[in-house]
Amino acid sequence: MIQISNLYKRFGKFVALNEISLSIDRGKVMGIIGPNGSGKSTLIKSILGLVRPTSGSISIDGYEINGEADYRRRIGYMPQLARFPQDLKGSEILGMIKKLRGANPNMEKVLIDLFELQPELYKRIRALSGGNKQKLSIVISSMFDPDTYIFDEPTAGLDPVSSTRLKDFIQSLKQKNKTVILASHILSDIEELADDITLLLDGNIRFTGGVRDLKLKTGQPLLERAIVEVLEEAAA
Amino acid sequence: MKQILQFGLFSLKDVSRNMWLLIYTAFFALVTIGLFQFQGHSGKVIVSITSICLVLIPLVSILFGTMHFYNQREFTELMLTQPVKRRTVYTGIYLGLATALVIGFLAGVGFPYLIFGMGGEIEIVSLLVLIVVGTALTLIFLAVSFLIGAIFDDKGKGIAAAISFWLVTAILYDGFILYIATVLSDYPLEKPLLALSMANPIDLARVVLLVQSDIAALMGYTGAVFNRFFGTSLGIAIALLSLTVWIAAPLHWGLARFRKKDF
């Protein structure tokens, strides 16, 4: 479970997150939606410790993030754009991360098989397609079977088969009582996977709750329309 | 510590496959071999190699470091989402790159020197001093490049800062000192000039190389001043201490920035 309290982040004069409070439960997928510059990345990076909040607090499964690094063992992160050292092989990058964590990657083989990545692991990164780099990124994020997953635009660049497999994998995480954050512009993915959504705009939360609640609140049967209505309401 | 070494080895493996590093090594080797072939076994060769090292090592180290820092930014971010401290990532990558560049320099200059340059007037001491100074320059300019990477988010600004730093330390600074010396030639300037020389790592490196040879007159005004005053073990000790400070200070400052940085 992730508990965010009064999270405030300012870059110079620009307020990226304005006193955000949010609770993300275990066994659920929280979809984070918002236009570019709404604060999605800052929120995710704050949870990961890449951005230092100006004020406020974040705790993961009861452990407050305070600048230490070890809590990240609990998190698997898949970035929007997977970029690796061009001259290394996938297997070498996986080897490095395994050494670094010193933990058993009990999901490694399952994921490599699921995304048919085995033949690609021994090629240099510069020879891999964008989709295969994404798949490598999935393996890195999930091979240690962490309790919390953060996926940033995970299906972008994946072929339909891999995309479907990834979505099935994310669904399976709910049954394993994991906490999942899914940031995406692809609303069909959000609708398919998310139990709850948080709608960010200009660093503020405009809505947080169940997908069905949002539809009921706005009276719109389609998620896309419901979101647009909330955004227009906020702009008015 | 173990994680720092793991990172160091990983970065070393990565950059050792970099084409530019191979070109750097090959260029040094060609120049060194060429100089020995054309100029024979004379003191002039050392002067030529030294002059090239004093310009090229800082330039390549600072550019290589800056480019690497920006090109690997996303991967560094990914590494920082792992359970490792920022200090580990920063120090590990620095060590890996430093090792690669020093090996490149040693292989490019040291081996040809040993094979073609030994005997005659040239002694092993000259080679050892050159290696120490070349290594120090690599470490200094790499540390500065990491500091630049930690300060500027924008790659263009970072590269501009790197080139400017090199331009000032390698070329403009000596001209500036010469200008002061000329304009204020009626005053006793030795001590202020000594202090000014300490402020520039390339001048410092030049001094260390000069003091152990008799070629001070060929190497600019600051070199001559330093030679007269510090042609002693005390002088060498002070210069080496200053070089060490020049490695430690940007590294420390860069790490402090990196630890507070938002990615």
In a domain, A121, yes or no: no
Chain centroid offset of residue A97 CA: 19
Distance from the B17 Cα atom to the nearest Cα atom in chain A, whole angstroms: 6
Phi and psi at residue B192, to the nearest 5°: -60, -40
Which chain B residue's Cα is nearest to A11? Answer: B262
Cβ neighbourhood burial of B232 (10 Å; 0-12, 13-18, 19+):
exposed
Distance from the B263 Cα atom to the nearest Cα atom in chain A, whole angstroms: 5
Largest CA distance in chain B: 62
ipTM of the modeled complex: 0.88
Residues of B in contact with A87 (CB under 8 A): 14, 17-18
| pLDDT on residue B45 | 77
CB contact under 8 A, A52 and B260: yes
Which residues is A33 bridged to in the sheet?
Answer: A199
Mutate to test the interface with B, among A10, A96, A143 (most CBs of B within 10 A): A96
- Tell me the whole-structure pTM to 2 decimals: 0.89
CB count, 10 Å around CB of B130?
Answer: 22
Residue with tokens 């940031």: A183
* DSSP of B160-225: HHHHHHHHIIIIIHHHHHHHHHHHTTTS--HHHHHHHHHT-HHHHHHHHHHHTSS-GGGG-HHHHH
In a domain, A178, yes or no: yes
Closest Cβ opposite residue A101 in set B14, B18, B83:
B83
Distance from the B121 Cα atom to the nearest Cα atom in chain A, whole angstroms: 43
CB contact under 8 A, B6 and A99: yes
Task: Write out residues 91-110 of A within 8 Å (CB-CB) of B.
Answer: 92, 96-97, 99-101
Mutate to test the interface with A, among B2, B79, B262 (most CBs of A within 10 A): B262
| pLDDT on residue B216 | 55
| pLDDT on residue A45 | 94
Distance from the B1 Cα atom to the nearest Cα atom in chain A, whole angstroms: 12
Helix (H) or strand (E) holding A79: none
Chain centroid offset of residue B79 CA: 28
- Please report the sign of the dihedral spanned by the C-alpha atoms of residue B89, residue B94, residue B99, residue B104: positive
Sequence-distant (6+) residues with CB within 8 A of A141 are: A76, A77, A78, A149, A150, A151
Mutate to test the interface with B, among A17, A41, A50 (most CBs of B within 10 A): A50
Whole-angstrom distance, CA of residue B227 vs CA of residue B219: 11
Nearest to B36 by CA among B122, B124, B104, B105: B122
Question: A56 in the Ramachandran plot: left (φ > 0), alpha (ψ -120 to 50) or beta?
Answer: left
Which chain B residue's Cα is nearest to A103? Answer: B83
Which chain A residue's Cα is nearest to B78? Answer: A79
Q: For residues A221 and A212, is the Cβ–Cβ distance under 8 A?
A: no
Residues of B in contact with A72 (CB under 8 A): 81-83
- In this structure, which amino acid lies at residue A230? V
CB contact under 8 A, B75 and A50: no
Whole-angstrom distance, CA of residue A206 vs CA of residue A199: 5
Residues of chain A with pLDDT under 70: none
Whole-angstrom distance, CA of residue A214 vs CA of residue A221: 9
Whole-angstrom distance, CA of residue B231 vs CA of residue B212: 8
- Counting runs of H as helices and runs of E as strands, what totals does chain B give? 13, 0
The range of the structural domain enclosing residue A183 comes to 2-82+147-235
In a domain, A138, yes or no: no
Mutate to test the interface with A, among B11, B82, B84, B89 (most CBs of A within 10 A): B82
First to last CA, chain A: 34
In a domain, A95, yes or no: no
Whole-angstrom distance, CA of residue A133 vs CA of residue B114: 45
CB contact under 8 A, B82 and A87: no
Whole-angstrom distance, CA of residue A7 vs CA of residue A83: 29
Closest Cβ opposite residue A50 in set B17, B72, B80:
B80
In a domain, A103, yes or no: no
A10: domain CATH number?
Answer: 3.40.50.300
Distance from the B7 Cα atom to the nearest Cα atom in chain A, whole angstroms: 8
Residues of chain B with pLDDT under 70: 41-43, 117-123, 212-231
Q: What is the mean pLDDT of chain B?
A: 86
Structural domain count of chain A: 1
Sequence-distant (6+) residues with CB within 8 A of B83 are: A69, A70, A71, A72, A73, A100, A101
CB contact under 8 A, B83 and A97: no
Q: Does A88 touch chain B (CB under 8 A)?
A: yes
Q: What is the pLDDT of residues A88-101, one digit of tens each?
A: 999 999 999 998 88
| pLDDT on residue B118 | 66
CB contact under 8 A, B81 and A69: no
- In this structure, which amino acid lies at residue A3? Q
DSSP 8-state class, residue B108: I
In a domain, A101, yes or no: no
In a domain, A36, yes or no: yes
- In this structure, which amino acid lies at residue A20? I
Q: How many Cα atoms are found within 13 Å in the side-chain-facing hemisphere of A23? A: 2
In a domain, A126, yes or no: no
Tokens of A49: 């410790």
| pLDDT on residue B215 | 59
Whole-angstrom distance, CA of residue B62 vs CA of residue B161: 10
| pLDDT on residue B43 | 66
Residues of B in contact with A84 (CB under 8 A): 75, 78
- In this structure, which amino acid lies at residue A72? R
